[in-house]
Amino acid sequence: MAIELRDFSWDRMIEAVQAVRERALRATAALERAGIPYAMAGGNAVAAWVARVDRAAVRNTQDVDILVRRADFDAVKAALESAGFVHASVMDVTCFIDGPDGSPRDAVHLLFAGEKVRESYPLPTADVTERERAEDYHIVGLEALVRMKLNSFRRKDQVHLQDMISLGLVDASWLERLVPEHAARLKQLLDDPDG
């Protein structure tokens, strides 16, 4: 398949980051207005924690992951649809695409609090109470975020964890408070920080 290469553009790169920020703020504002407990998770949560130490170390991500309770799904759906999002299920992921012509790459992905994303995961996701208030939204707490990243442990999760390790947000003192499988995964990253 042939791809179309456009000109190099700082503007296009900046617009991509701004589009994610706008989508995240629109979604979380809708949840706030509806009084639904939630927490920003995933790569945007990592970026927010990393930015507290060194903004130059922040990595961008295209999707928006939000942790909610399954019991609140109908209210979440109504709130996000009122903000212009369209409910969809893509590869067994509950998401809200940004408008009727939106792409699954430009979506809000839901994670359900207290549930395993995959049965093979050692632990379920965090609860929405494990959060902190950021300027414009709630964000999953650092300990809960680290558990969630150690749970999935895909390449991008490992990179996110390496970023947090390199900045001192996570270190060897965490090993004793983790379940054994998570501790082994973190030790692997601590022992070989460059992968």
CATH class as words, domain 14-141: alpha beta
| Contact yes or no for 53/168 (Cβ under 8 A) | yes
**What is the per-residue pLDDT for 169?**
97
Do the strands 39-41 and 107-112 form a parallel or antiparallel pair, or are they unpaired?
unpaired
Burial of residue 46 (number of CB atoms within 10 Å: 0-12, 13-18, 19+): buried
Q: DSSP string covering 25-73, please?
A: HHHHHHHHHTT---EEEHHHHHHHHHHTT-GGG----SSEEEEE-GGGH
Give the Cβ contact number of residue 28 at 10 Å. 24
**What is the per-residue pLDDT for 3?**
86
pTM: 0.92
**What is the per-residue pLDDT for 56?**
93
Q: In the 8-state DSSP scheme, what is residue 153?
A: -
**What is the per-residue pLDDT for 128?**
96
Kindly give the parts of the chain with pLDDT less than 70: 195
Between CA 133 and CA 140 the distance in angstroms is 9
For 165-178, letters b (16+ CB in 10 Å) and e give: beeebbeeebeeeb
**What is the per-residue pLDDT for 5?**
87
**What is the per-residue pLDDT for 150?**
97
pLDDT tens per residue, range 107-136:
999 999 999 988 999 999 999 999 999 988
Domains of the chain: which residue ranges?
14-141
pLDDT tens per residue, range 81-96:
999 999 998 777 899 9
Contacts of 180 (CB under 8 A, 6+ apart): none
Output Rg (C-alpha) for the chain, integer angstroms: 17
**What is the per-residue pLDDT for 142?**
98
